[in-house]
Amino acid sequence: MLAFPRSPTATETVPLSNIVIATRESRLALWQAEHVQSLLRQRGHAVSLLGMTTRGDQILDRSLSKVGGKGLFVKELELALEEGHADIAVHSLKDVPMDLPEGFALACVLQREDPRDALVSPRYASLEALPQGAVIGTSSLRRVVLLRSLRPDLRIEPLRGNLDTRLRKLDDGQYDAIVLAAAGLKRLGLEHRIRAVFEPEVMLPAAGQGALGIEVRADRTDLLALLAPLASQRDQLATAAERAVSRAMGGSCSMPLAAHARWQDGDRLRIDAAWGDPEGAAQLVQVHAQAEVTDPAQAVALGDGAARLLRQAGAH
Sign of the Cα torsion 126, 132, 138, 142 reads: positive
Q: How far is C-alpha 99 from the chain's CA centre? A: 14
Query: CA angle 301-307-312, nearest 5°?
Result: 125
Q: Taking 50 as the threshold, does the pLDDT of residue 10 lie above it? A: no
Torsion of CA 27, 173, 136, 193, to 10 degrees: 50
Contacts of residue 53, Cβ cutoff 8 Å, sequence gap at least 6:
24, 25, 76
For residue 283, the one-letter residue type is Q
Q: Please give the Cα distance from 27 to 274 (Å, whole number).
A: 31
pLDDT tens digits, one per residue of 201-235 = 999 999 999 999 999 999 999 999 999 999 999 99
Mean pLDDT of 287-309: 98
pLDDT tens digits, one per residue of 246-268 = 999 986 656 799 999 999 999 99
- H or E element at residue 154: none
Q: Which of 95, 114, 117, 235 is catalytic?
A: 95
Q: What's the pLDDT at 8?
A: 41
The verdict on whether 153 is a catalytic residue reads no
Kindly report the average pLDDT of the chain as a whole number. 89
Query: DSSP letters along 73-90, please?
Result: GTHHHHHHHHTTS-SEEE
Q: Taking 60 as the threshold, does the pLDDT of residue 4 lie above it? A: no
For residue 286, the one-letter residue type is Q
Beta carbons of 19 and 224 less than 8 angstroms apart = no
Beta carbons of 147 and 137 less than 8 angstroms apart = no
Q: What's the pLDDT at 255?
A: 79
3-state SS, residue 100 = coil
pTM: 0.88
Strands (E), 79-167: 88-92, 104-109, 117-120, 135-137, 155-157
- Please report, for residues 44, 80, 87, the alpha-carbon distance to residue 83 in angstroms, rounded to integers and kept in the order given: 25, 5, 10
Q: Please give the Cα distance from 249 to 273 (Å, whole number).
A: 11
Classify strands 104-109 and 117-120 as parallel, antiparallel or unpaired: unpaired
Give the chain's largest Cα–Cα span: 64
Q: What's the pLDDT at 61?
A: 47
3-state SS, residue 309 = helix
Beta carbons of 137 and 175 less than 8 angstroms apart = yes
Q: List beta partners, residue 241.
A: none
